[in-house]
Structures are given as structure tokens and as C-alpha cells.
Chains A and B, each alone.
Chain A
């Protein structure tokens, strides 16, 4: 019997019992739909994390003062709490680690910022002229400060989108004066909006100024809080971070890593925890969805077994009129696979529908990928073959005489 006839006979058999066929397919439909929706959820979460990483700059390495490590018996202030990180450290990193492309010494603080009758408490960051480039941050109005501004500790600043909108509603902030702790800064640029940070913070709620100005005129310190570094390329980030750590230990004469007075972290590392959570979540959801696909497969097997028993006489007759065992085998296998493939197709449609609905109603990031569709579909077809095999085998091994007499 040719391929087309096998399929035709399978379709006729499926159509003969539409309600039962529908219910049988339901298991696969739900299984495939949930696999697709779950994978979409997982890929969406990962994509949004990836997007946040690249919005920060993929090559980014932070060298912060203080340590996250926990040494025995010592009180630790955490990152940013010590005063041992200096501009010399930053210069050394720039000079001695070849994998490093750009380095920006940085200080941070919070301050009340006043312009006219508006005021706002925001975080204020200092960097050098390369800071924006390291963080792949653009200036949308005005311009970035220059090396000269840094050198002379000029009182100029860049406003984040949020700050600019709050202090200068409906006005162009460039060229205006803002007062930071009563110190007047000239606004020379407005930053492009960057959106939410890794932890849901508003990255645009910020004022950026030359670190020298903040050190000398605003904070009155000589140390740095952190150094922002970019590696030459994304795949050298890890190696660069290792070399920076080695250099810093050498410069600060640290032999035991527990005694580190600095922390080196890459953006990827910082996102890793969240990626791990997303991945764990994803595998968990996937396995639940796979179980339902498996249950769908067992449903197919169950129905096929019932069907073989019910149609014993039909099988006997087919054998009597010249069907070979393998014709019967392929017929029943084709029925199971057709059920699961149709179920798979409907499941894909349902899965995409569910994903769309979740995106629209809950606003979760979801990504229906072609890989997920191909995977779910392939899995559904495999389920059909796997769970259809046993009933088909049973049908094919029937003896024509017994089958014809079966009551």
C-alpha cells in the first residue's frame, strides 16, 4: 500500500470517530501548547536579561573598592566602603592590562540637585571623558565633557533623562545651571534614555560629571569608589577580569583572596544569577510541559489499543483480502502519528495564541522561537511513533482467523 493510501486510510479511520479523535489529540494539543508557551516565557526572560546586559555594554568590567568576600573574623563594609582604590590603580590597569580598552575612574554619591524652583534627590556619578563610551551611553542633546574638563575639574555635568525632565520640564537643559549641594554646575548635555537597570532601578535618574570635580569640589575625597573598564572584546572580558584582579592584588600586596579590598565583576557575572534563575525556571516549566506531552502520548497509546481491540474484525478482514502484517502496522502507526501531528499543529497554534495573550494582557516578555516550534512538533511526532508502535505491533501480529472470528 502506497504512502498516500496509508494516509488516506488513517484519515478515514480518524474521521469515523471524530469525538474520540479530538479528545485523543487534546492531550498532545495541551502538551505542545504548554511547551511552546513555556519556552517562549523562558526565551523572553533571557532575551530581556541579554538586552539589559548589552544596554550596559557587553565588555563592561567593574572594579569596585571593598570586597564582597567574607573573610573569617573580620568586619567587612562591602563594595565601595573602603578608601584604598585610587586613580593610580586605574592608571595601572590602563597601562598594564593589554586586554583593557578603556578605563574610567569613578566616584558616586547622592545629592540634592536644584534648578530654579525644582529640586530632586538623585545619584551623582563621576567619570572621565571615556565613561559614556564604556557604558555605551549616548548624548542626545549638547555634548559629552572632554579630557580637559576632567583635567581642570570643571563644574560641568550631564543629566539623565529622568532628571532633565524633572528639573527642566519643557525646556532645553543644555546651557542651564543646576546647583548640586549649592555648587553650580553647567549642564552641557542630556543623556539618551537607558531604561530600567538590572534590579529594576531607573538608570536615567542620574547626573554625571567629571570625577575630578566631584572628588575635589563636592565630596572632598581623593580615593575612588569604582573604576569602570571595558575589555577589548566580549570574549576577552573574563581574561581581562582575571588579569585586573591579579594586578590589583599585586599592587595592594594581597596574598590571600579573602583579604581583597576590591571587587572585580563583569556585567555578565552580575547577570549570571538572574540568568541562572531564568534557566532553572525554564527547565522546570519545560519538564512540566514535557510531562503533559508524555501524558498526551500515553492517551494516544490507550486509544489506539482500544481501537485495535475494537477493530479486530476489521483487521482480520483486511488480512483476509490481502493486507500484509506490515500494511496493518503502517496503517495503525499512521493513525497514531496523524493524531499526534494534527494535535501538534493545533498545539502550536494554541501555544502561539497563549503567548500572544500573555504578552498583551500581562506584558511579560515572551519570545516564540522557530526552534521551540520545531522542537515541540518533532517531539509530538516522535510521541506518535513511540506510543503508536506498540498498539500497531499488536494489530499487525493478529492472526487473520482469530481476528475474523473475534466477537
Chain B
């Protein structure tokens, strides 16, 4: 059974006097453990697709089956609950809470979803994930004290804290330089490989899409092509091949050596 099955999804909304048809009968299956990259120009409907997939928005018509359950008609609170439990979000602009430590940022989803985890367990989970993304020495840093790549890694840790089935990444490397982008893609590839997480990544850069297992092209609210990636890029190998940085710009030079 596919983790996600979208059947004839349509979404239209009104902007002033104009009705915009963002999705026009889009169908798509996403298998568990796959790394699907959705590419499309702006206005292609990929953001709307992302919002519907992330249960932030409801389709006008059509069906969205998540783990076999039709969630397209769920009300706000049920969608909030599903988002909390099954979906992790990674955004282009990180969306971390300012003036809040990395640890507390990662713990945030644990505050919701009607589950009262004891603080000690919340800390332990968040700490474990931050260590897994290589930020074990920066638990108490606020976003202002972290570089862009580090912030995105905090965001990934946050997305994983509730052990979701699905990780939705919306242009996760859009604000990052190419080296940091490779680092982020390495983490995502590792998550798919080691944890069996399903990743749906939205991008407009075709070379980023080549890190996935499958590229889905969206145009005018429909899937126009859906192909497996032939020569898949391996982010870990690419990063290893990059020349070492002579000067790593760190907000706090004293701790620069602790990062690995």
C-alpha cells in the first residue's frame, strides 16, 4: 500500500474576481521509503500540492489517502493532529522560533498533539536528534547564533521529533549555498536510507531533484512527467570530494572545532 495516494485532486480558490485553478486533477502515488522530488516552475501548483500533502489545506475535490485513510475531508483539528503525528515540515526559511534555543525549537511539536511527555523525555529526544544532525554541541544556541545550514539542521531535527512517516521539504536548500545544500541533502538521503522515512521534496532546481529516487514534474496543476532518477547523486560522496574549507565562518569561533 502506498503511503500517499492522491486521486484526481483539484484545488481552486478565488483571488479577487478571478478563480485560480491551482490543481486540475492531479494523481500521484508515493511509496513508503521513497525520496520523491517534485519540480515545477512557479505557478505550476507545486506549492498548493505541498499544502494539501502537508494537510495545511484541503482539496476542493478529489481524494487524499494517507496510509490508506481518506483524509481529504478532515476538519482543522483532526488535520492538526495528523500533522503533528505523521508529517514533519522543513521550510525554505527554516521557521525557527527566534530567541529560543535549538533544544526548545526541536521540542516544540512535542507540546502539541494531546500527549504530555515528561520534560526529561522531551529533552532526551530533542538532544538525540540534534546529535544525529551534528549539532550536539549547540543545544543551547539560538537561531541567531547558528549559520543557515545549522538552522536548517535544527529544523530537520524538529521535523523528526514525533517520528513522522512523511517528511515534507519545501525548497529546503533555497536559502543555502551549494556546499551547505549538499550537507542538507546528505542528511535527507541518510534519513531515507537509515530510518525508512518517506521524503517529498519540492524544488525548482533540477540538480537538487537528482538526489531523490524519483522526479515528478508538475505543470498547470497536473503531473506531466514521473520518472525514476537514473544517475542518482550521492550527497555523502559529493561532500567528501569537496575541498576542505580554509576558513569556516562561524558565529562563535571558539566552538568551531566541535562541529563535525
Contacts and interface: CB of A to CB of B under 8 A. Distances in A.
Whether A associates with B in a native complex is yes
A316 B95 CA distance: 9
A321 B77 contact: no
Nearest to B91: A404
B76 A325 contact: yes
Nearest to A314: B97
Contacts of A400: 56
Interface string B94-106: 0101111000100
Interface in A301-324: 313-314, 316-324
B158 A321 contact: yes
Interface string B47-63: 00001001011000000
Contacts of B97: 314, 317
Contacts of B162: 322
A323 B56 contact: no
A16 interface: yes
A324 B77 contact: yes
B112 A323 contact: yes
A375 B26 CA distance: 61
A2 B76 contact: no
Contact of A320 (B54, B85, B111): B54
A322 B116 contact: no
A320 B83 contact: yes
Interface string A154-172: 0000000000000000000
Interface string B235-249: 000000000000000
Contacts of A318: 108, 112
A323 B95 contact: no
Contact of B84 (A12, A322, A401): A322
Contact of A322 (B80, B98, B99): B80
> Which of the four size classes fits the interface of chain A?
20 to 34
B109 interface: yes
Contacts of B91: 404
A5 interface: yes
A9 B85 CA distance: 21
Interface in A20-35: none
A402 to B, nearest CB: 10
A323 B51 contact: no
A317 B83 CA distance: 11
Interface string B137-168: 00000000000000000000010001000000
B211 interface: no
B83 A321 contact: yes
B81 interface: yes
A356 interface: no
Contacts of B158: 321
Q: Which of A9, A321, A404 lies at the interface centre, i.e. has the most chain B CB atoms within 10 A of its CB?
A: A321
Given A322-B80, A323-B80, A324-B80, A404 B109 contact: no
Contacts of A2: 116
A327 interface: yes
Interface in B115-150: 116
Nearest to B93: A313
B198 to A, nearest CB: 18
Contacts of B64: none
A25 B80 CA distance: 33
A140 interface: no
Contact of A401 (B57, B76, B112): B57
Contacts of A254: none
Contacts of B56: 319-320, 400-401, 404
Contacts of A12: 100, 104
A319 B80 contact: yes
A147 interface: no
Contacts of A320: 54, 56, 83, 89, 95
B174 interface: no
User: Which residue, B54, B81, B108, B111, has most C-beta atoms of chain A within 10 A?
Assistant: B111
A322 B89 contact: no
A221 interface: no
Contacts of B113: 322
Nearest to B96: A317
Interface in A89-103: none
A277 interface: no
A1 interface: yes
A109 B148 CA distance: 97
15 contacts: A5-B111, A5-B116, A12-B100, A16-B98, A313-B95, A317-B97, A320-B95, A321-B89, A321-B108, A322-B83, A322-B85, A322-B162, A323-B111, A325-B76, A401-B57
Given A318-B108, A322-B113, 16 more contacts: A2-B116, A9-B111, A313-B95, A314-B97, A317-B108, A320-B54, A320-B95, A321-B108, A321-B109, A321-B158, A322-B81, A322-B85, A322-B109, A323-B80, A324-B80, A401-B57
Please name the 9 residue pairs, one residue from A and one from B, whose CB atoms are nearest each other, closest first.
A322-B84, A322-B112, A321-B109, A317-B95, A324-B80, A323-B112, A16-B99, A322-B113, A400-B56
Interface of A: 1-2, 5, 9, 12, 16, 313-314, 316-325, 327, 400-401, 404
